[in-house]
Structure 1
């Protein structure tokens, strides 16, 4: 918490000195502008101090303090009209009420979690109360709670600072260095998307990833399978699975019905027709719907299989990173060759393998939605969609092949290698690493320019940029 307080204080001082305002005023301004100092100063320069203060609920002019010469005063909240001036408190907006009413007002707001912007009690007055006055009038326990809320507002209202969503929670609030809404890594090792706080999912957009995870978790996929492969008996309504080619099926309840349309029939039939039964147009529509559902299910199964396969591989390669580090440490300890006193090339290669495999696994949910009809149905013609799909699949194949090659190079007992064998492995690791990095970069350029960049809705599907050095390490505040 101390580091959060220090970071918050640094920003407060900057605003206080630049605008010549009190700390409570600077805090109210920063909370209103979500701790974005640049935006705050831009409004100040463009519109002036009066407009800046008014937008944040601050009084532009200092109203005179309560006259202590007046012996008795009235509170318009509790209607007490025989109060000493010491029992009254006025805010910068000019409204004054008794301390007991203020205290009750502040207590309610703090307990409701509205500490950041407690407004004046006066009717239609939106002025924000001075935080120093709030601290003075509430009890010590509430004052501590109030201050904690104010400190946490630096995280809750700041688009560049967020709590790490790790489970269990590591207790870190982290600040993003780049304002690009990309992916970050906390000092606890947890990597996540700074926009949606989900796991790192590039090259999927946040919406794609949200839809994909919901689809994977949704039990309706089993319902889809039943829709495709079974029919409901028209008599007992139980699902029936057809195991032979004839379209006349019999339920265990004894009811005969047509597999094509689901209508009840008698038992007499030939290979081409069922006696006294004609499916008609409705059944043809049902067949088309069934075929469409089966095609969609098969398509989903393909992308899901690829996604899961590469996700499983990425978990194994995360373990490989640890193994490579251990082997690299052994090599540096026992080698007499000065060229291998550092094994960064092996460690970097394992890290690249892990990162690129994760990218490859997430590229399949991206392709599922990019070339499907759920998000971009009207954005591409069928011909254009097929061309772009083939282009992207070629890049996926290139990336897959090079990743497998890098994995094969690193999955060896190189801690037992001779110097010559290590030199050969180092060259191969660096060479294939350059290729993997290049293919990843080209895939992202394709997504940003040739795929999402050509759609009208692409602006709503921004993706985290590719970085050859890996996911950005965030600045953390230990709490």
Structure 2
């Protein structure tokens, strides 16, 4: 209304100004004619229309003419028969164009525009044109993005300012269920910033053979050498042959991973600091990378197993309902626990990317203490819900209360560490290696 222009003209101008209203309004008020000329229009421009030919009319493309021909006239005055114009605009639409289709006359700057295109096109060509318009609109607005999930046609809006992406990861959730980072279009990688994630992803590609070797899902028992396969998300392993209990990640005794001692997440930097020759330094760097990658990958695999656990949980909930006369709402505690478990696995996974690039100092020690606390609580909850309910174990009510309490505690720890990392990144509390 402030421009007092037809909707078609206003839309073309908004597109030319990348949908920014203030710059358009300012330009229009300063120099109306120059602003309109940007899209090949003038104050006296007429709306495009299909007209019947006359004896003097001759199409400049196919050279047909006469009163029987129908032609399109744009605001520039150039006229071409509707068949040629339809073919011309249709070809441009096939090439992916929409807003920038210009008059068919050579060197004419006037845009065909929405109204003219809609007069010419129908059926599949019209649908493709409208799709091109929408895609162009989403592409040009920084606050919009297409969901990267396969076969998804939804666009998502994110209002987090781009300046805040360095510390507040712009994670969005699409209506299709996909969750991804609005900044880099990768899967959700909270709490690691996009810049570190890009470096980590590239490094993992460069070391793909090492990564494949690490990803083997079987290990030998340290004590009796029996082969053990990991088929659950919990890292507390017990050998079926000798009953030795150990940690899947570091192979250390599980007794050293209790409430009072848990440093499986911490890398000892002494070996890399003391390395003198190039071979020793390369070996130390590899050992350091493997430390972080092993834990990163372990949480990724555990997260996948957690999703399988979710499917199994649905059956367990039905069984508990039948056997213990509980309502559907009363057995939702298992679903809630698996949801929290999945969130924690994802956060812990990406926290190792932060740890890998983080310079060792007192602030990193505090970070690793918080990381290990969440890791320990996550492992306990994982083990708790993977163990089947038995007749000689706690009652269903005791089990339910234990799971609810532990889920609440783990969720609180998860929220706390996320909030602390966001504020830490914002305050530049940590220094990161530049490679």
TM-score band (shorter)?
0.5 to 0.7
Shift of 1:51: 9.3
Structure-2 change in CA distance of 1:456 and 1:55 (3 Å): farther
Spell out, residue by residue over 1:65-113, the C-alpha distance to the aligned partner (whole angstroms, 9 max, x if none).
79999974788x7698998897664434x35243477556524422321
Of residues 41, 49, 57, the one that matches 2:39 is: 57
1:427 counterpart = 2:401:
yes
> Aligned ranges for residues 42-441 of structure 1 at < 5 Å?
42-43=22-23, 50=32, 54=36, 57=39, 59=41, 61-64=43-46, 72=56, 89-92=72-75, 94-99=76-81, 102-103=85-86, 105-120=88-103, 126-137=109-120, 142-166=125-149, 169-176=150-157, 179=160, 182-219=170-207, 288-336=277-325, 342-371=330-359, 385-414=360-389, 421-441=395-415
Aligned partner of residue 119 in structure 1, secondary structure: coil
Deviates more, 1:119-128 or 1:107-116: 119-128
- Equivalents in 2 of 1:53, 1:440: separation in Å? 53
- Equivalents in 1 of 2:25, 2:301: separation in Å? 54
The TM-score with structure 1 as length reference comes to: 0.61
- Equivalents in 2 of 1:321, 1:19: separation in Å? 56
- Equivalents in 2 of 1:117, 1:417: separation in Å? 74
Spell out, residue by residue over 1:318-375, the C-alpha distance to the aligned partner (whole angstroms, 9 max, x if none).
211222222122223443356x75222221111101111111011111221233xxxx
- Equivalents in 1 of 2:16, 2:391: separation in Å? 61
Unaligned runs of 5+ in 1: 1-16, 223-285, 372-384, 459-479
- Equivalents in 2 of 1:121, 1:136: separation in Å? 15
Structure-2 change in CA distance of 1:398 and 1:455 (3 Å): closer
Aligned partner of residue 395 in structure 2, secondary structure: helix
**Greater relative contact order (CA < 8 Å, ≥ 6 in sequence):** 1
- Equivalents in 1 of 2:329, 2:122: separation in Å? 62
Shift of 1:18: 8.6
Aligned partner of residue 116 in structure 1, secondary structure: coil
Shift of 1:296: 2.1
Give yes or no for contact 1:311–1:361 (8 Å, CA) kept in 2.
Answer: yes
Spell out, residue by residue over 1:186-209, the C-alpha distance to the aligned partner (whole angstroms, 9 max, x if none).
455433223322122111222222
- Equivalents in 1 of 2:106, 2:128: separation in Å? 27
- Equivalents in 2 of 1:52, 1:343: separation in Å? 68
Structure-2 change in CA distance of 1:209 and 1:326 (3 Å): same
Aligned partner of residue 213 in structure 1, secondary structure: helix
**1:450 match:** 424
Structure-2 change in CA distance of 1:322 and 1:80 (3 Å): closer
- Equivalents in 2 of 1:363, 1:319: separation in Å? 23
Q: How many residues align?
A: 357
